[in-house]
């Protein structure tokens, strides 16, 4: 898995002082593989990586993350940005009904999406109507009627046997129907071919011109991966579109289509369809897709937690004192509190710069122990924290009483602290791996 490979990269990179070309290269090599595995189109991968490289080079070095983590965090931010950042809302007409036109290849999921979107809109308090303007496939109208009934959304369709064979006319009459019956939104289902062809595109354009949609949404099957690029371009050049709906995300689609389509067309993905059930449909979440593409959600979560919990100023101050071999109990407490904020210690200890040195000293402390350690240190006077050497027997007894612990526990903490400080001093002599200063790369 990518996470394992990155772990190896982390190991070799951890502790270097600067975000060097080599650091960036090593991490981006892994990202490149991850993107190709996710079936992102090659030109998209190239563009994307060069954008990330630019940002990584000019990034201010983080004190909370190691270089590999920092590059990955930039990768993640870029993915989210390209995938649309904050998802955009549907645009509605000033004078209802708003018209939403669905376009896409046959089998991409348009008819299913029409029903799902209708239901979703109804839940938002709208009064949508679905229009069956796919007269190509023999049972397309009936399919929409069945799905519409299940979704409890009315469907406008040509009367059976009426011989009405013009989808443009059906679409136009569907919008008139909505206006008369005070439906505030019209969702038009259209025909698609297995491949892009001129007739289909011309028909979609005629429906567009007849109904003047507020939104043209391109429906694309996520399973097609990088092939989505070609189709998306054809639809953008043909009927044109304002946004994207990604379907079949419940399969083993790895998100390549999402990134490819978003980056090639610059259009936002508005909704995601994730199954055959009507409720398997929701607004698209760029962050979730970004971690799906990278296939390392857990790694990203840890990075976020590390960033949130680690106060850079505090780290800098501690780093300076540590490198000078002047660790105090306050630093010790600060470091442990930073770790504590992040949840189970074991998972994250290794992620913090400078924490490697504490690892041995506090590896066997669990969260409850940490509360007691905190209580002990808080029961000390500032002088005692700054210079634990003055902690004689009577001071230790007072601290044990004040913190509700025992003298043995106080002794053990002080001992561990001295061990840690001795280790710091040794490291200080050779420059501590993992300790970085703020530098512009």
Nearest to 365 by CA among 335, 345, 350: 345
From residue 179 to residue 198, the character string flagging contacts with ligand GDP as x (rule: CB under 6 A) and all else as - is -------------x------
Q: Which residue has the tokens 């027997």?
A: 393
Is 315 labelled as part of a ligand binding site? Answer: no
Is 111 labelled as part of a ligand binding site? Answer: yes
| Number of CB atoms found within 10 A of residue 271's CB | 22
| C-beta separation of 371 from 403 below 8 A | no
Is 395 labelled as part of a ligand binding site? Answer: no
Q: Which residue has the tokens 């001795």?
A: 422
Q: How far apart are CA 172 and CA 331, in angstroms?
A: 72
From residue 373 to residue 402, the character string flagging contacts with ligand GDP as x (rule: CB under 6 A) and all else as - is ------------------------------
From residue 213 to residue 252, the character string flagging contacts with ligand GDP as x (rule: CB under 6 A) and all else as - is ----------------------------------xx-xx-
Q: What is the torsional sign of CA 220, 225, 231, 236?
A: positive
Q: What is the DSSP string of 184-234?
A: SEEEEEE---SS--HHHHHHHHHHHHHH--SEEEEEEEGGGGGGHHHHHHH
Q: How far apart are CA 348 and CA 69, in angstroms?
A: 13
Is 389 labelled as part of a ligand binding site? Answer: no
CB 91, min distance to ligand GDP, A: 22
* Span of 102-110, 195-203, 302-310, 426-434 interacting with ligand GDP by CB under 6 A: 102-110
Q: How far apart are CA 302 and CA 300, in angstroms?
A: 5
- Which residues are within 8 A (CB) of 139 and not within 5 positions of it... i.e. 6 or more apart? none
112 touching Mg ion, by CB under 5 A: no
| C-beta separation of 286 from 78 below 8 A | no
104 touching ligand GDP, by CB under 6 A: yes
Q: Residue 39, SS3? A: coil
CB 21, min distance to Mg ion, A: 51
Of positions 69, 79, 90, 110, contacts ligand GDP by CB under 6 A: 110
Site residue total, Mg ion (CB under 5 A)? 2
106 touching ligand GDP, by CB under 6 A: yes
Minimum CB distance to Mg ion smaller for 16 or for 193 = 193
353 touching ligand GDP, by CB under 6 A: no
CB 160, min distance to Mg ion, A: 18
Minimum CB distance to ligand GDP smaller for 248 or for 416 = 248
CB 115, min distance to ligand GDP, A: 8
- How far is C-alpha 260 from the geometric centre of its chain's CA atoms? 16
Is 325 labelled as part of a ligand binding site? Answer: no
Is 27 labelled as part of a ligand binding site? Answer: no
Q: How far apart are CA 335 and CA 306, in angstroms?
A: 12
Strand order in the sheet with 128-133: 155-156, 128-133, 185-190, 98-103, 215-221, 243-247, 268-273, 281-283
| C-beta separation of 235 from 196 below 8 A | yes
* Span of 21-29, 108-116, 281-289, 363-371 interacting with Mg ion by CB under 5 A: 108-116
* Span of 107-115, 169-177, 250-258, 398-406 interacting with Mg ion by CB under 5 A: 107-115
112 touching ligand GDP, by CB under 6 A: yes
- Indicate the helix (H) or strand (E) that contains 103: strand 98-103
CB 134, min distance to Mg ion, A: 5
From residue 251 to residue 270, the character string flagging contacts with ligand GDP as x (rule: CB under 6 A) and all else as - is x-------------------
275 touching ligand GDP, by CB under 6 A: yes
Q: How far apart are CA 22 and CA 29, in angstroms?
A: 10
Of positions 73, 111, 273, 291, contacts Mg ion by CB under 5 A: 111
Minimum CB distance to ligand GDP smaller for 194 or for 430 = 194
Is 98 labelled as part of a ligand binding site? Answer: no
Find the largest Cα–Cα distance for the chain.
101
Minimum CB distance to ligand GDP smaller for 144 or for 290 = 144
Of positions 51, 107, 350, 402, contacts ligand GDP by CB under 6 A: 107
Q: How far apart are CA 189 and CA 171, in angstroms?
A: 9
Q: What are phi and psi of 219, to 5 degrees?
A: -95, 125
Q: What is the torsional sign of CA 210, 212, 213, 217?
A: positive
Torsional class of 275: left (φ above 0), alpha (ψ -120 to 50), beta (otherwise): left
* Span of 109-117, 230-238, 359-367, 396-404 interacting with Mg ion by CB under 5 A: 109-117
273 touching Mg ion, by CB under 5 A: no
| Residues near ligand GDP (CB under 6 A) | 104, 106-112, 192, 247-248, 250-251, 273-276, 280
| Residues near Mg ion (CB under 5 A) | 110-111
Residue ranges at the known binding site for GTP: 104-111, 189-193, 247-250
């Amino acid at each position: 898995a990518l996470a394992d490979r990155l772990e190896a990269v982390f190991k070799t990179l951890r502790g270097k002082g600067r975000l060097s070309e080599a650091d960036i290269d090593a991490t981006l090599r892994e990202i490149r593989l991850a993107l190709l595995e996710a079936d992102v189109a090659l030109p998209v991968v190239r563009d994307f990586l060069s954008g990330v490289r630019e940002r990584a080079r000019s990034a201010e070095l983080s004190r909370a993350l190691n270089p590999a983590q920092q590059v990955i965090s930039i990768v993640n931010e870029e993915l989210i940005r390209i995938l649309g950042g904050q998802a955009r809302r549907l645009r509605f007409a000033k004078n209802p009904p708003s018209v939403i036109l669905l376009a896409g290849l046959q089998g991409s999921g348009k008819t299913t999406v029409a029903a799902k979107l209708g239901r979703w809109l109804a839940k938002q308090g709208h009064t949508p109507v679905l229009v069956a303007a796919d007269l190509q496939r023999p049972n397309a109208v009936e399919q929409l009627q069945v799905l519409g009934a299940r979704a409890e959304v009315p469907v406008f369709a040509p009367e059976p046997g009426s011989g009405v064979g013009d989808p443009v006319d059906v679409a136009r009459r569907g919008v008139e129907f909505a206006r008369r019956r005070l439906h505030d939104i019209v969702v038009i289902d259209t025909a698609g071919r297995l491949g892009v062809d001129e007739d289909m595109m011309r028909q979609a354009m005629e429906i567009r011109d007849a109904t003047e949609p507020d939104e043209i949404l391109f429906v694309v099957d996520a399973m097609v991966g990088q092939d989505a690029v070609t189709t998306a371009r054809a639809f953008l050049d043909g009927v044109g579109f304002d946004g994207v709906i990604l379907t079949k995300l419940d399969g083993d689609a790895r998100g390549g289509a999402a990134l490819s389509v978003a980056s090639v067309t610059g259009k936002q993905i508005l909704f995601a369809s994730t199954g055959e059930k009507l409720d398997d449909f929701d607004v698209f979440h760029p962050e979730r897709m970004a971690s799906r593409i990278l296939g390392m959600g857990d790694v990203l979560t840890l990075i976020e937690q590390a960033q949130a919990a680690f106060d850079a100023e505090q780290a800098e101050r501690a780093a300076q004192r540590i490198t000078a071999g002047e660790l105090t109990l306050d630093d010790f407490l600060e470091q442990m509190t930073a770790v504590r904020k992040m949840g189970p210690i074991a998972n994250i200890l290794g992620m913090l710069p400078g924490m490697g040195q504490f690892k041995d000293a506090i590896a066997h402390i669990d969260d409850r122990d940490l509360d007691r350690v905190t209580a002990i240190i808080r029961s000390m006077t500032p002088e005692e924290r700054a210079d634990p050497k003055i902690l004689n027997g009577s001071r230790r007894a007072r601290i044990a009483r004040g913190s509700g612990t025992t003298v043995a526990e106080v002794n053990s903490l002080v001992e561990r602290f001295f061990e840690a400080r001795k280790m710091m001093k040794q490291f200080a002599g050779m420059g501590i791996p993992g300790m970085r200063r703020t530098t512009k790369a």
